Amino acid sequence: MAASAVCRAAGAGAGVLLRTRRSPALLRSSALRGATTFAQALQSVPETQVSLLDNGLRVASEQSPQPTCTVGVWIDVGSRYETEKNNGAGYFVEHLAFKGTKNRPGGALEKEVESMGAHLNAYSTREHTAYYIKVLSKDLPKAVELLADIVQNCSLEDSQIEKERDVILRELQENDASLRDVVFDYLHATAFQGTPLAQAVEGPSENARKLSRADLTEYLSRHYKAPRMVLAAAGGGWTQVLCLLVIPPPRALRPGWPVRLLCVSTGVEHRQLLDLAQKHFSSLSEAYTEDTVPILAPCRFTGSEIRHRDDALPLAHVAIAVEGPGWANPDNVALQVANAIIGHYDCTYGGGMHLSSPLASAAVTNKLCQSFQTFNICYAETGLLGAHFVCDRMSIDDMMFLLQSQWMRLCTSATESEVGRGKNILRSALVSHLDGTTPVCEDIGRSLLTYGRHIPLAEWESRITEVDASTVREVCSKYFYDQCPAVAGVGPIEQLPDYNRIRSGMFWLRF
């Protein structure tokens, strides 16, 4: 007896869907399963819709079948736009944003967020600042209103400034205990010495002690402009649909037939988000006063080193990097594949000497390090391309030698098999990173600031597919081979090789 499923939607415009059940033998047929390839699956990813308000604010959204949504404001400002005098102002403002606005005192703002069961957060980097909130989809209008109030009406009360000053000073002390963060700050300080990119996001403790309300107000009025902002949202909602399972298909509904209540994704409506942006962000200023338009000065890279030796520490933290490409440079894809080939390692990983990464396998076999990771940190026109490792004081020289040998090997003899492995690792990382509404929303906001558009996953897949072994060899030779690196070391680093020796490891003499 054939079975049919009749779904009648509760809202207007609902249709009737008839589905005929196939036999198990037919369902097992490979021709009917319709296996979908990875590239085909990426084509079904929802499209990102982008609109522009009259004041220059960009509004972007992407629908997805999720019961929650994330909405946030991404701003093209960070410590790179600060001077030595006000370095840390953006980090200070970020802390004050959740302490109340002119319309909502601190306690009222916290209660309003908690009443929605929302998650409100913010972060600052060297080039960007973000405020975002994750809520149930039905609370999207309230979330946009809260974000607009936080961004435009931060109260900056003197009492709150003094409280946050103490909080920031304590955080700076805690950050000093994170040697990974310390070594990356040192790496930026030496690689981009004499330029704004050398400045830490948090700023020095001296600035945290003396920044005033006037300094913070001037920072907000100078940088929080509509053309430098993106309002992004990702996620969806659920609408209830009445589903009637009927056997056999009836001519009329009768009492006693089974009824099931299903949910169908509706998604974040771009028109709704655009209307909310127009309502709450249209008054945001787009004009600069005379001679206050911020100009992004180019930041030069300098091959150099910083050493902070402390034999009391148990492990050494070392970072080495060459100058990498900016965000929009197409070489980034091949370099990400190269980084995936070198891979990453932690002593808690299973697999031991059988790990696919040659460097990880050697590190396990010879007990060279606790962990290592490659990185490609991008900025507008430059970047840092390298690796960071944590090891015992007597293994630094060997670990540095093996790392540089892997770079030189990729420059001269990268193979198709390992490039294929690196491409698959990159594909997996690219897709898994966007699991959830918050990372998708962050990807949209950051992409619009850095690329000027949101690059779909299908386009990333096509770029990855184009990479082959010759491309990796060519691009790695361009960025690694015979280049001056920047080096930063913290801890018991007596065995860290002399800079000239490290520099000589950036090429091979072959006859």
Q: Which of 232, 233, 215, 230 is CA-nearest to residue 128?
A: 230
The whole-angstrom separation of Cα 37 and Cα 425 is: 17
User: For residue 291, what pLDDT band results from cuts at 50, 70 and 90?
Assistant: low
What's the rounded Cα separation, in Å, for the pair 11 and 27?
Answer: 33
**Separation between Cα atoms, residue 236 and residue 479, nearest integer Å:** 42
How far is Cα 467 from Cα 419, in angstroms, rounded to an integer? 8
Grouping H, G, I as helix, E, B as strand and the rest as coil, residue 62 is strand
Residue 287 C-alpha from the chain's centroid:
29
User: What is d(CA 325, CA 395) in angstroms, rounded to the nearest whole number?
Assistant: 31
State the pLDDT at residue 26: 39
Amino acid of residue 129: T
Average pLDDT of the segment spanning 90-109: 90
CA separation for the pair 368, 488 (Å, rounded): 19
Instruction: List C-alpha distances in Å: 425 to 322, 341, 353, 370, 380.
Output: 23, 8, 19, 22, 26
How many other C-beta atoms can be found within 10 angstroms of the C-beta atom of residue 189? 18
Average pLDDT score over residue span 11-24: 39
Q: What is the pLDDT of residue 292?
A: 66
Q: Is the pLDDT of residue 204 over 80?
A: yes
Per residue in 219-255, pLDDT (tens digit) is: 999 999 999 999 999 987 533 333 333 344 444 444 4
- One-letter amino acid of 98: F
The CA-based dihedral angle spanning residues 165, 166, 171, 172, taken in that order and rounded to the nearest 10 degrees = 70
Instruction: Check residue 18 and give its pLDDT.
Output: 33
pLDDT for position 263: 42
pLDDT category, 10, cuts 50, 70, 90? very low
Distance of alpha carbon 97 from its chain centroid, rounded? 21
User: Residue 372 pLDDT > 80, yes or no?
Assistant: yes
Q: At residue 94, does pLDDT exceed 60?
A: yes
Lowest mean pLDDT among 151-165, 330-344, 468-482: 151-165
pLDDT digits (tens, 9 = 90+) for 294-314: 778 889 999 999 999 999 999
One DSSP character per residue, 279-291 reads HHHTTS-----TT
Distances (CA, A) of 486 to 8, 187, 377, 482: 65, 7, 14, 13
Ranges 219-223, 230-234, 374-378, 472-476: which has the least confidence: 219-223
- Percentage of the chain exceeding pLDDT 70: 86
Check residues 326 and 24 and name the one with the higher pLDDT.
Answer: 326
Q: Any bridge partners for residue 7, and if so which? A: 243
Residue 81 and residue 201 in contact, taking contact as beta carbons nearer than 8 Å: no
One DSSP character per residue, 345-363 reads EETT-S-GGG-SSHHHHHH
Could you tell me if 453 and 154 are in contact, meaning their C-beta atoms sit under 8 angstroms apart? Answer: no
Dig out the tokens for 484 from the structure.
């001056």
pLDDT per position as a tens digit, 119-177: 999 999 999 999 999 999 999 999 999 999 999 999 898 999 999 999 999 999 999 99
With beta carbons less than 8 A apart as the criterion, state whether 248 and 126 touch: no
For range 314-324, the mean pLDDT = 98
Beta strands in 172-280 (DSSP E): 229-235, 238-246, 259-265
- Tell whether the model's pLDDT for residue 2 goes beyond 80: no
Give the integer Cα–Cα distance in Å for 445 and 73: 7
Strand pairing report for 68-75 and 229-235: antiparallel
**Which is nearest to 506 in space by CA: 489, 482, 476?**
482
89 vs 11, more confident: 89
Q: For residue 414, give the DSSP letter.
A: -
Task: List the catalytic residue out of 47, 62, 84, 94.
Answer: 94
In terms of phi and psi (left: phi > 0; alpha: psi -120 to 50; beta: otherwise), the region of 85 is alpha
Contact assessment for residue 155 and residue 102, using Cβ atoms and an 8 Å cutoff = yes
- Look at residue 265 in the predicted model and tell me its pLDDT: 43
Average pLDDT for residues 286-298, to the nearest whole number?
A: 75
Residue 290 has pLDDT above 80, yes or no: no
Determine whether 94 is an active site residue: yes
Q: Are 134 and 119 in contact (CB under 8 A)?
A: yes
Whole-angstrom distance, CA of residue 384 vs CA of residue 144:
35
